[in-house]
Chain A
Amino acid sequence: MTEHAVRVRGLRKRYGAVAAVDGVDLDIRRGEVFGILGPNGAGKSTTVGILLGHRGRDGGEVAVLGEDPARAGRGWQARIGVVWQDESAAEEMTVAEIVRHFAGYYPRPRDPGEVIALVGLQERAGVRAKHLSGGQRRRLDVALGVIGRPELLLLDEPTTGFDPVARRQFWSLIRALAAEGTTIVLTTHYLEEAEELADRLAVISAGRVRAVGEPATLGGRAQAPARVRWTNADGSSGEIVTATPTAEVAALAARFGGEVPGLRVSRPTLEDVYLRLIGHAGAAGEAGEVAR
């Protein structure tokens, strides 16, 4: 068994004059939740399409579960699940009928009733797909994605258009699947979602990987100078940007003789890092100048 669920080297795909994917490298380990973060049109969906074998590529090497998707057969397909953001399969069928039918395609499917319960649709099992809400519809798609007991589950912007409650429910579903050991690859343009779910992230923009890492340390986030803020006795606010925030806080505590009023220590948010990374892409070729 290979160590990596997905291994991509120098992947390229052009549409006419546009390079949608322009030399992407990715290593996704077995059992991890891997986020692919990037603005619309960054090449996320094209990359996912290539990983699934739905799209061809113009260059590079791709191995998904040890096989090249462009040449892999049905046995490989049975080990991979996928969930898209826009799907409307079999509107006139009930949830239970659809899940049971799709179970029949796989050599060792999960129990359909179990999967329906896993995605929280047991109350709606007898309802036709066209009567489901948007969030329920997507959970049915997840049920179809996991019914074949996949080793790898790809989710392409699965929570686009969700309300905050539905999104949180969806996140706990993904965590439950990850806890069972399924490798999960998730594209999203929601930073909060990436930070909540992903063990590691790749930021993609203009067809290239700009950074890869854990959400907490991505793009040098952990080493970046911290901002220490507090409130002075006269009500004015104080602020220091420092590489040694702990020392600064100790000095402040000594100065105030105990509690420091309004104390806050902050590192750059994932959003700060993300905007810097994709901004850098926008100004590529201009010596790293940040595009505004």
Chain B
Amino acid sequence: MTAAGAVLATPAGADERLPGAWRLGLSRGAMEVRLFFRMRDQVVFTFAFPIVFLFLFASIFHDRMAGTGATASQYYVASMTAAGIMSTSFQSLGVSIAVEREQKVLRRLRSTPMPPAAYFLGKIWLVLVTGLLETALLLAFGTVVYGVDLPSDVTGWLTFGWIFVLGITGCALLGIAISSVPRSARSATSVVVLPFLVLEFISGVYILVTTVPRWMLTVGSLFPLKWLCQGLRGVFLPSAAAAMEPAGSWEYGRIALVLGAWCVGGLVLCLLTFRWRGRDE
């Protein structure tokens, strides 16, 4: 053990005082959050978008869902919260990193001794903060206007906690990965929004899971959004509503498995495919 430690320590000798990825990730996260809140229009639209959609859907569809003890409006509070989490992570990162790549922000970072992991960590801190704010806004709106019951015990909040962290991390890593696909910052919005919209339709965000064709839901269940929606329904809807689910239960175990797999797989995807330069540089 000692020998192996010494061998590992020797080549790092010269790099000894290089700041570590975790500390730099925190420093990048702090800067990312500050930058985010300085772009006022971006702040307003990022937060307003899911609330506007929640208002539209929950107002148009508000009937009681038979045998569930919940209204369609309450279903949409859970759905839109999941979609809001994915939009602040997947969509925001997919577009903003493509822009940073085009504006040569990434090239500058690549020319410093900053480890790539610090950059990814900074992005995850950013989406944890913005995603939590987004969620708080949607839940506040949902409880006041549509009478959603927030969990009354610690277990309920703990369940919400792990679903939120696994869901947003997986979506953030997928967003970082997809940012390498668009050829330019101008095409980034289309490249990122199309798959997101499709996922929203086949994961039971806009359309009730009982209405989405089974094969579509099966395709959707390969991605994190379907499980994020399902988990949040489990947290915020009455337990009788589990009857709507394809499995007839909330399937927390499977949710943890799929979201956890996306966190690991997303990280591997980022490390393998992330581009620091534009395609034509």
Q: How far is the CA of A265 from the CA of B27 in the complex (A)?
A: 61
Give A97 to B27 CA distance when docked, in angstroms. 12
Given A54-B277, A73-B15, A104-B24, answer yes or no on A89-B108 (Cβ-Cβ < 8 Å). Answer: yes
| Residue A126 interfacial (CB < 8 Å) | no
Give 9 A-B pairs besides A87-B107, A148-B113 with Cβ atoms closer than 8 angstroms.
A54-B107, A74-B115, A82-B111, A89-B103, A89-B108, A90-B105, A93-B34, A97-B31, A105-B112
Q: Are A105 and B19 in touch, CB under 8 angstroms?
A: yes
* Complex CA–CA separation, A86 to B277 (angstroms): 14
Cβ-neighbour of B108 out of A77, A87, A104, A108 (below 8 A):
A87
A108–B35 CB distance below 8 A: no
Given the complex, which residues of B lie within 8 Å of A93, measured CB to CB? 31, 34-35
Q: Does A107 contact B111, Cβ atoms closer than 8 Å? A: no
Contact A148 B112 (CB under 8 A): yes
A107 to B103 CA separation, bound complex (whole angstroms): 27
Q: Are B103 and A88 in contact (CB under 8 A)?
A: yes
Report the minimal beta-carbon distance from A87 to chain B, rounded to whole angstroms: 5
Report the separation of the CA atoms of residues A87 and B111 in the bound assembly, to the nearest whole angstrom. Answer: 13
Q: A101-B31, A105-B114, A106-B113 are in contact. Are A74 and B105 (CB under 8 A)?
A: no
B104-123 vs A, Cβ < 8 Å mask (1 yes, 0 no): 11011011111100000000
* Cα(A144)–Cα(B113), bound, Å: 12
A257 → B minimal CB distance (Å):
65
Pairwise interchain contact A106-B112, C-beta atoms closer than 8 A: yes
In the complex where A73-B15, A101-B31 touch, is A89 in contact with B113 (Cβ < 8 A)? no
Could you tell me the distance between the alpha carbons of A84 and B34 in the complex, rounded to whole angstroms? 26
A-contact 0/1 string along B1-20, CB 8 Å cutoff: 00000000000001111110
Indicate which residue in B27, B39, B113 contacts A78 across the interface (CB closer than 8 Å).
B113
Determine whether the beta carbon of B31 is less than 8 Å from that of A92: no
Chain A positions within 8 Å of B115 at CB level:
74
Within 8 Å by CB of A90, from B15, B27, B35, B111, lies B35
Q: Check A77 against B111 for contact (C-beta < 8 Å).
A: yes
Closest-CB distance, B251 to chain A (whole angstroms): 43
Bound CA span A75–B115, Å: 11
Who on chain A is nearest to B12 by CB?
Answer: A75
The tally of CB-CB contacts under 8 A between chains A and B is 73
Determine how close the nearest CB of chain B comes to the CB of A187; give it in whole angstroms. Answer: 15
Shortest Cβ gap from B104 to chain A (Å): 5
Chain B stretch 94-140: residues in CB contact (< 8 A) with chain A:
103-105, 107-108, 110-115
Known: A84-B107, A108-B17. A77 touches B112 (CB 8 A): yes
Residues of B within 8 A of A52 (CB): 111
Q: Does A230 contact B (CB under 8 A)?
A: no
How far, in whole Å, are A93 and B16 apart by their CA atoms in the complex? 30
Return the chain A residue nearest B114 by Cβ: A105
State A159–B21 Cα separation when bound (angstroms): 34
Given known contacts A75-B113, A102-B112, A107 and B35 CB-to-CB distance under 8 angstroms: no
Give the dominant DSSP class at A's interface: loop
Q: Tell me the count of chain B residues lying within 8 A, CB to CB, of chain A.
A: 26
Contacts A86-B104, A89-B104, A90-B105 known; A74 to B17 CB distance under 8 Å? Answer: no
Most chain B CB inside 10 Å of its own CB: which residue of A75, A80, A88: A75
Q: In the complex, what distance in Å separates the CA atom of A82 from the CA atom of B113?
A: 12
Encode A92-123 as 1/0 by CB contact (under 8 A) with B: 11000100011011111000000000000000
Complex contacts, B27 vs chain A, CB 8 Å: 101, 104
Within 8 A of B (CB), among A138-153: 144, 148
A135 to B113, CA, bound (A): 26
> What distance in Å separates the Cβ of A112 from its nearest Cβ neighbour in chain B?
14
Contact B18 A107 (CB under 8 A): yes
What is the CB-to-nearest-CB distance from B136 to chain A, in angstroms, rounded to a whole number?
A: 24
Q: Which residues of B contact A86 (CB under 8 A)?
A: 104
- Please measure, in the bound complex, the distance between the C-alpha atom of A101 and the C-alpha atom of B105, giving whole angstroms: 14
Q: Are B35 and A92 in contact (CB under 8 A)?
A: yes
- Measured CB to CB, the closest approach of chain A to B101, in angstroms, equals 12
Contacts of B113 in A (CB 8 A): 74-75, 77-78, 105-107, 148
* A148 to B16 alpha-carbon distance, docked (Å): 15
Question: Within residues 27 to 70 of chain A, which ones have a CB less than 8 A from any CB in chain B?
Answer: 52, 54
Q: Is the CB of A92 within 8 A of B105?
A: no
Given the known inter-chain contacts A52-B111, A54-B110, A106-B113, please indicate yes or no for A75 contacting B24, CB distance below 8 A.
no
- Residues from chain A with a CB closer than 8 A to the CB of B110 are 54
Nearest CB to that of A86 among chain B residues?
Answer: B104
Q: Which residue of B lies closest to A145 (CB)?
A: B111
Q: How far is the CA of A165 from the CA of B163 in the complex (A)?
A: 58
Within the complex, what minimum Cβ distance (angstroms) separates A73 from chain B?
A: 7
A90 — which chain B residues lie within 8 A by C-beta? 31, 35, 105
**Which of B18, B35, B104, B277 makes the CB contact (< 8 A) with A74?**
B18
Q: CB-nearest residue of chain A relative to B100?
A: A89
Closest CB-CB distance, A190 to chain B, in whole Å?
22
Which chain A residues border B114 with CB–CB below 8 Å?
105
B256 to chain A, nearest CB (A): 35
Q: List 30 A-B contacts (CB under 8 A).
A: A52-B111, A54-B110, A54-B111, A54-B276, A73-B15, A74-B15, A74-B113, A74-B115, A75-B14, A75-B18, A75-B113, A77-B112, A81-B111, A84-B107, A87-B104, A88-B104, A88-B105, A89-B105, A89-B108, A90-B105, A92-B38, A92-B39, A101-B27, A104-B19, A105-B19, A107-B15, A107-B18, A107-B113, A108-B17, A148-B113
